[in-house]
């Protein structure tokens, strides 16, 4: 029997990268999954891979910054599979890039809508269904950029710090309902979101990431999927309010990026499948 047998999960941003890797891993462990993403082509491909790995899955087109869309994704889990046990608030983007003084209020708000408000919405609307199920596991993607200064774009980093603190506060509030709330802080993961901004794409991104941390290889989606599986499973039934660092030792060594310049022009970095 798989570690997630008979459990139902909603995973946002599951059409590619860490989300897709997690969905496929969950499917292989017996879970039924709602693939919640804006990327229809990637989402349907993820559904096929989940089914090939022995699980059940459906695609739900979802704008995570929209409350009604989050509600619809959770409602889809209930209508298709009858319950909700796991929510993985994973969808993300680079958001506002550039110096603080050049950042527009519009791009600040757009970044927070996807990276932080979506996590609030995912937690909020998971509560009734998980309470009815007798408990559940809510996982969100934060970042080492939310722990270390200048380990990522400024607005992104502040939003991810908010995810970490929201995780802790929600865990305290929801403990009485046996709803566990944790987040994962990835380091340098070689995903399409990162590759789209590096000339040369995946191979060059991998070479850069290989030298950033003591474990000298680039992070992969499966590294995050493994931690998400642990947090979603009953193995973690006494784990809540944590920010689990999965970074090959980057934080332990210290911020190797602190002396690097991030003086890029002000711009907007959207989802990996969209051209900016």
Query: What is the helix (H) or strand (E) element at residue 121, kind and residue range?
Result: helix 118-133
Residues in the chain, total: 276
In a domain, 2, yes or no: no
Number of domains in the chain: 1
In a domain, 149, yes or no: yes
The pLDDT value recorded for residue 274 is 65
What the block records as the tokens of 5 is 């047998």
pLDDT digits (tens, 9 = 90+) for 41-57: 999 999 999 999 999 99
Among residues 26, 81, 112, 156, which one is catalytic?
A: 156
CATH of the domain at 25: 3.40.50.720
In a domain, 273, yes or no: no
The pLDDT value recorded for residue 108 is 97
151 contacts 257 by C-beta, under 8 angstroms: yes
Mapped onto helix, strand or coil, the DSSP state of residue 247 is coil
What backbone phi and psi angles, to 5 degrees, belong to 109? -65, -40
228 contacts 33 by C-beta, under 8 angstroms: no
In a domain, 146, yes or no: yes
The pLDDT value recorded for residue 256 is 61
Look up 230 and say whether it is catalytic. no
In a domain, 134, yes or no: yes
The pLDDT value recorded for residue 208 is 79
pLDDT digits (tens, 9 = 90+) for 9-23: 999 999 999 999 999
Residue range of the domain that includes 52 = 8-251
Q: In angstroms, rounded to a whole number, what is the distance separating the alpha carbons of residues 143 and 160?
A: 6
Q: Which residues of the chain have pLDDT under 70?
A: 1, 194-199, 255-263, 268, 272-276
107 contacts 149 by C-beta, under 8 angstroms: no
Instruction: Please report where in the chains the tokens 């865990």 appear, as a residue.
Output: 171
In a domain, 31, yes or no: yes
179 contacts 130 by C-beta, under 8 angstroms: yes
> What pTM was computed for the model?
0.91
């Amino acid at each position: 029997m798989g570690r997630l047998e008979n459990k139902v999960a909603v995973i946002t941003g599951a059409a590619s990268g860490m989300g897709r890797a997690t969905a496929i891993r969950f499917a292989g462990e017996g879970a039924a999954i709602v693939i919640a993403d804006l990327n229809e082509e990637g989402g349907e491909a993820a559904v096929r891979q989940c089914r090939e790995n022995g699980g059940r899955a459906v695609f739900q087109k979802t704008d995570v910054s929209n409350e009604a869309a989050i509600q619809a994704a959770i409602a889809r889990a209930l209508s298709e599979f009858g319950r909700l046990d796991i929510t993985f608030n994973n969808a993300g983007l680079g958001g506002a890039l550039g110096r603080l003084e050049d950042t527009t209020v519009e791009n600040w708000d757009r970044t927070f809508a996807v990276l932080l408000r979506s996590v609030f919405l995912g937690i909020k609307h998971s509560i009734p269904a998980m309470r009815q199920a007798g408990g559940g596991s809510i996982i969100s993607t934060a970042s080492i950029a939310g722990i270390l200064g200048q380990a990522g774009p400024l607005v992104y980093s502040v939003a991810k710090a908010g995810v970490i603190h929201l995780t802790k506060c929600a865990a305290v509030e929801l403990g009485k309902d046996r709803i566990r709330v944790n987040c994962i802080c990835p380091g340098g993961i070689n995903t399409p979101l990162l590759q789209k901004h590096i000339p040369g794409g995946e191979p060059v991104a991998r070479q850069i990431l290989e030298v950033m941390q003591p474990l000298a290889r680039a992070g992969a989606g499966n590294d995050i999927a493994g931690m998400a599986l642990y947090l979603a499973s009953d193995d973690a039934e006494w784990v809540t309010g944590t920010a689990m660092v999965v970074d090959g030792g980057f934080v332990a060594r210290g911020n190797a990026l602190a002396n690097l310049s991030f003086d890029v022009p002000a711009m907007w970095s959207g989802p990996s499948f969209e051209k900016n």
